[in-house]
Chain A
Amino acid sequence: MFGFSERSVLNILFWVTRKKWLILSFLLSISFFYIPSPDGLSPEGHRTLIIVSVALILIISESIPLPAVAILILIMEVILGVDTADGVASSFMSDAVFFIMGSLMLAVSIVNQGLDKRLALGVINITGNKTWRIVLGFITISAILSSFIGEHTVGAMMLPVALALIRNSGTETIKSDNLSTILLFSIAYGCAIGSIGTPSGGGRNVIMIGYLSEFGIGNVSYVDWMKFTYPMLLIQIPVVFLILWHTFTPSQRKMDSAVRKLKIKVAKNGKMTPHQILAIAIFLSVFFGWIFLSPRIGLGIVALSGVFLYLSFRLVDWQDISKNTNWGVILLFGSAISLGIQMKETGAALWTAEHILNFLEIIFGDMAIVRWFVAVVVTGVLTNLLSSAATVAVLGPIILDMGGNEIVMGIMTSIASAFAYLTVVASPTIMIIHSTGLISSSDYFKAGWKLFLLSIILLFIISRIYWPSLL
């Protein structure tokens, strides 16, 4: 056919069916390009929005690798004339990207220290062998640790602890057994609610802080952030526990033998090694650096200093960091932030914000409710489709252009992007527990929607009653 062999037609057909979203986004961008710019939108802003829609389609459909999406964003920014090559390059790198890079490397360094077994022992010694105390302990420790170290690190470290308990309790082979489901969810949801606690809890918090200072709105320090968010984290711990316990009540009320076996296994490791003590000391110094130094030198530089120390003391090999750091994610967030800055500078963010407000005002009637709806509900829903950091990077500039108190709007958006309870793609911790194959897909929704609703209500109450006293 047309001089092609059958095989090449087949290969093309296969490619087309697998890449339909790529082709669709390509066609869409061409047709949008030839539509005249709408009133109030500059040609650059118009083209920036084309890039945003292409990026969103490609990220959600996963039809090409993420790093390819990242590179495509940069190429399109230059080719469509949104900015010069040098301009794109300098918006690509920022302290927020330094921070994301640094915290992914810190994660690898910390996970490599073998501290997970010590963590397991610590948790079990506090909780004892009653199942409800173990679940509550898992949620609490995951939430508090992930607020400082980042959710993906804690998720990876807690997973073996939970699986060791599950396997030793004899329920290993049963898919969606309540005991395994509740233990795994207590990690994932614990990490999710924890990630709002400090800027270092998740890359998206730092992206938001970066936008707030880049756009000249204000500087939010590490401690300021905690004042806004930590009370919500602490209240959510019992909320998550009650929802999970109510939804997946396990039949085993005690886990005697599993806990005993875990203790025996962990006890073999002996005392804490000097290396481990040094590793903890370095992390603590990073933590204090975030609190005291970051207003002057930036969160990203502090995180990178920690990586520097781990490497210099040979607590981690560069090969390990290189192998286990998700460079694709770093590229993507760099591009997404660059795109966010272009959205602000070209006026695309403002134009979109105004249109969303005008449209939603007809439905809700009250501007304050509209802003709240976009910052919380739209962010929460998009997070579950896109992953949290990409949502903040793209939606952030629009929300910051909607008026109201920008710092409140920004922090609210960051918190709502942690409501990633519903789908597997939403956050790395959910994917980590999903990869065990022990949870069936429908279970994510079972407890997730309750938590999603309650989190939204809780955030509403806190932002109305508690936050005004901070401003």
Chain B
Amino acid sequence: MKILIAISSKEYSAPTLDVGMKIARLLNASTTIVDVGEKINEFSIKDINLANELMETWDMDRPGVDVLEWAYKYLEKNNFINTKHIGEGFPKHSLIDSGTGRAEILLKGSTISNLNLILRNGDIIEELRNEIQVHDYDLTIIGGSGRRNMAHDLVQYIDSSIFIVNSFDSNKKYKILLAVDDSPGTGKAVKYAVRVAQAFDINVDLITVSKDNHFGEGCKRASEKSQKMLRRSGIDYIVHFKKGNPVDTIVKTAGSNHIIIMGASTQSPLTKFFMGSKPLNVIKASDCPVIIVK
């Protein structure tokens, strides 16, 4: 299991980092924390390299390293990493620049199997997409963003499962809202829900929504299959069958104290591009964390 946690600034990234590291630790996953800095105009890129090289001779960090350092200290303070093995704290001098807009800080020894801190510059979707394609992550964890189209671009172009940490409060007790229907993505979503529920030791609300009162055979079977999986895994769950618009119903049921888990849409990319999809609309409308499983 490989997890990518995308952070942006010291001000807003703490919840993302917190929940991301909890998941990583519980699933014993190899984790990479990435800070995607602003895109640098090509006219100026070499001048900025020059300035950065000079900064090093002054013993100052290049921009972005401070965000990683903050993340490192946050992990240290919250006992996600064990600094005894590293010795001298944040090893900023081990920044390795691969020259392709990706720089990495190598960390040795931590309480989770493998932790990487990396720095990228550019358009966030392009950089994340490239990182995921090259390094093959299973789950991308990212904070909610005010940027227009961000949710669309994430759902459409990011190849891994996505966890959008929308208004997450680490002191709150969450439940999982697992949305199942007859679509092919459901099976994977259920497996994910089981792992997350076991890891956090939390209950599941299993929901199936139909536009009218009639629930098709496929939906019923999907719900039964999911119940069987949850039962076998020893997870407490409640089954809901609800009538209404799927997106509205899921968002309303979730409120702010659930983590929504649902499968990715399996419609063709073109349809999704023009018509949108259920997962996308759920992300846009919801006021709680959402996991879209691919």
Contacts and interface: CB of A to CB of B under 8 A. Distances in A.
A34 interface: no
A434 interface: yes
B54 A159 contact: yes
A108 B66 CA distance: 26
B107 to A, nearest CB: 23
B236 interface: no
Which of B43, B63, B156, B157 is the most central at the interface, judged by chain A CB atoms within 10 Å of its CB? B43
Contact of A431 (B43, B156, B270, B273): B43
Contacts of B60: 160, 163-164, 167
Interface string B36-64: 01101111111111110111011010011
A425 B54 contact: no
Interface string B258-282: 0000000000111001000000000
A308 B149 CA distance: 51
Contacts, number: 110
Interface in A291-319: none
Contact of A326 (B37, B46, B57): B46
A256 interface: no
Interface stretch (A7-15, A403-411, A455-463): A7-15
A111 interface: yes
A424 interface: yes
Given A65-B42, A167-B60, A156 B47 contact: yes
B129 interface: yes
B10 interface: yes
Contacts of A116: 54, 57-58
Contacts of A160: 51, 54-55, 57-58, 60
A457 B216 CA distance: 74
A231 interface: no
B46 A324 contact: yes
Contacts of A117: 58
A190 interface: no
A326 B157 contact: no
A66 B270 contact: no
B57 to A, nearest CB: 7
Interface string A153-184: 00111011001100100000100000000000
A6 interface: yes
A159 B55 contact: yes
Given A18-B126, A156-B54, A324 B37 contact: no
A469 interface: no
Contacts of B58: 116-117, 160, 163-164, 265
Nearest to B67: A437
B46 A6 contact: no
B18 to A, nearest CB: 20
Nearest to B10: A173
Given A107-B50, A155-B47, A159-B54, A66 B42 contact: yes
B41 A159 contact: no
A372 B270 CA distance: 50
B40 A435 contact: yes
A329 B38 CA distance: 20
A152 B64 CA distance: 21
A81 B49 CA distance: 39
Contact of B157 (A10, A325, A328): A10
Contacts of A114: 57
A9 B41 contact: no
Given A156-B50, A431-B44, A9 B268 contact: yes
Contacts of B43: 66, 326, 329, 387, 425, 428, 431
A435 B273 contact: no
Contacts of A424: 41
B270 A9 contact: yes
Nearest to B56: A160
B269 A6 contact: yes
A163 B55 contact: yes
A224 interface: no
A371 B259 CA distance: 63
Contact of A111 (B48, B50, B64, B126): B50
User: Nearest 3 A-B pairs (CB), nearest first?
Assistant: A431-B44, A326-B46, A428-B44
Given A107-B50, A428-B47, 11 more contacts: A14-B156, A111-B53, A111-B54, A156-B54, A163-B58, A173-B66, A265-B58, A325-B46, A326-B47, A387-B43, A431-B47
Interface of B: 10, 37-38, 40-51, 53-55, 57-58, 60, 63-64, 66, 126, 129, 156-157, 268-270, 273
Interface of A: 1, 6, 9-10, 13-14, 18, 62, 65-66, 104, 107-108, 111, 114, 116-117, 152, 155-157, 159-160, 163-164, 167, 173, 265, 323-326, 328-329, 387, 424-425, 427-429, 431-432, 434-437
15 contacts: A66-B42, A104-B46, A107-B50, A152-B47, A156-B47, A156-B54, A160-B54, A163-B60, A324-B49, A326-B43, A329-B43, A387-B43, A429-B47, A432-B44, A434-B38
